[in-house]
Amino acid sequence: MRSPIAVGSLLFIGADGLCCTAAFADVEVRTIVKVVVCIPARYGSTRFAAKVLAKDTGKYLIQHTYERACLAKLPERVIIATDHEKVVSAAESFGAECVLTSPEHKSGTDRIAEAVADLEVDIVVNLQADEPEIDPANIDRVAQLLIDSPDYPMATLGADFESQGQVADPNIVKVITDSKGKAIYFSRAPIPYDREESGIGPVAQYQRHLGIYAYRKEFLLKITSLPQTPLEKIEKLEQLRAIENGYPILVAKVKHTCDGIDTEQQYAEFVERSKK
């Protein structure tokens, strides 16, 4: 991916070195930004055992996610990071690059930090393994946020809610931002609280968080080296570690296109959709 970083003008001087011609030419200066998608794929799962290797569609669940990621335009590489040899074997069977990481990691972010630690890369996109219907354009969008916004070390996406029931669901994370898209807070609770409606107001005033992130590599390594923070522990939301340590997170709104696969029922519904 090439991104413009400066535009200037060249002054052409006559061959005698004395007379300046009137000619000016705008020159676009570009730099190469290396973007990598890393998919953390933990073998164990509390609600759906070994879900990344579910294969009722004829393809592994992780394979669907990997293939969607490969359709994005900005990343030059897609890597799976796992804690189990079975996932490595599965990834190799469909030609994916896969890194075996420590089984001791507490989060997917810790896992991808290990996987990319020695890579020459500028931006790392953290894509959940259970997102087989992810829109590739959303991967490009979250990476582009950091390319266009050098003051931010981290970016993510949000989308509109469809119902008050979704707003009330603690499994669907909410995000509030300032007028420039900087995240103020993420919560499992309905935020903002609508006092006039005794809690949840009109759906349009809420924004759901989509669990895809882009990090500058140096920041990824730094944030994963910091201890868990109080709000992070309470909400069980690791992005709060950045906010509690004073690091800004840029949020852009996109059209929500899919939900992740957390349960066997959700996987069964995905299998049915894949047949159409």
91 to 45, 133, 266, 268: CA distances (angstroms) = 18, 18, 22, 22
12 contacts 100 by C-beta, under 8 angstroms: no
Predicted pLDDT of residue 25 = 41
pLDDT in tens, 184-243: 999 999 999 999 988 899 999 999 999 999 999 999 999 999 999 999 999 999 999 999
Q: Looking at the predicted structure, is the pLDDT value of residue 126 above 90?
A: yes
Domains (ranges, CATH) in the chain?
149-215+228-257 (3.90.550.10)
19 to 10, 15, 22, 26: CA distances (angstroms) = 15, 8, 9, 20
Under DSSP, is residue 181 helix (H, G, I), strand (E, B) or coil?
Answer: coil
Residue type, 37: V
Which residues on neighbouring strands pair with residue 3, listed in sequence order? 31
115 to 39, 79, 81, 136, 235: CA distances (angstroms) = 10, 8, 6, 22, 26
Q: How far apart are CA 194 and CA 97, in angstroms?
A: 47
Q: How far apart are CA 100 and CA 115, in angstroms?
A: 8
Q: Looking at the predicted structure, is the pLDDT value of residue 9 above 50?
A: no
